[in-house]
Amino acid sequence: GNSVTQMEGPVTLSEEAFLTINCTYTATGYPSLFWYVQYPGEGLQLLLKATKADDKGSNKGFEATYRKETTSFHLEKGSVQVSDSAVYFCALAHSEAAGNKLTFGGGTRVLVKP
């Protein structure tokens, strides 16, 4: 079956540090890949996505590249801010599945300190 594995947190950083959150997946076929972010007390928001190999998703200074050869979709940001403190979820949607079913990783909590 499909699965998503992401690094466990919490990840604690200082402001302006470089952030990387690793995400790898297992799926047959050609899934679409997503990063969702959950700020404290809120629901999940789509941060970025990539629908095919070598696509790069980007938003709010975050980037992730769909690497089929390594089955990875690592999230990066060059200079984090305190407002980036949140839980980040990697997810996939299988292109052959019936329906819009997302498979999520366990989430990585990021804490950015001033």
Partner 1 sequence: ETGVTQTPRHLVMGMTNKKSLKCEQHLGHNAMYWYKQSAKKPLELMFVYNFKEQTENNSVPSRFSPECPNSSHLFLHLHTLQPEDSALYLCASSQDIREFYEQYFGPGTRLTVT
Residue 78 near residue 65, CB atoms below 8 Å: no
Q: Which positions from 59 to 98 touch partner 1 by CB under 8 A, shown as an x/- string?
A: ------------------------------x-x-xxx-xx
In angstroms, what is the minimal distance from the CB of 21 to partner 1? 15
Is 40 an interacting residue with respect to partner 1 (CB under 8 A)? no
Segment interacting with partner 1, rule: CB under 8 A, options 18-26, 36-44, 53-61, 75-83: 36-44
Q: Which two tokens stand for residue 77?
A: 């940001």
- Residue matched to tokens 């407002």: 83
Structure tokens, 34: 């997503």
Q: Is 82 helix (H, G, I), strand (E, B) or coil?
A: helix
Q: Which helix (H) or strand (E) holds 6?
A: strand 3-6
Tokens 């997946």 — which residue? 25
Between 46 and 82, name the residue whose CB sits nearer to partner 1.
46
User: Among residues 63, 85, 104, 111, which is the contact residue for partner 1, using CB under 8 A?
Assistant: 104
Which neighbouring-strand residues pair with 92?
Answer: 33, 103
* Residues in touch with partner 1 (CB under 8 A): 4, 32, 36, 41-46, 49, 51, 89, 91, 93-95, 97-102, 104-107
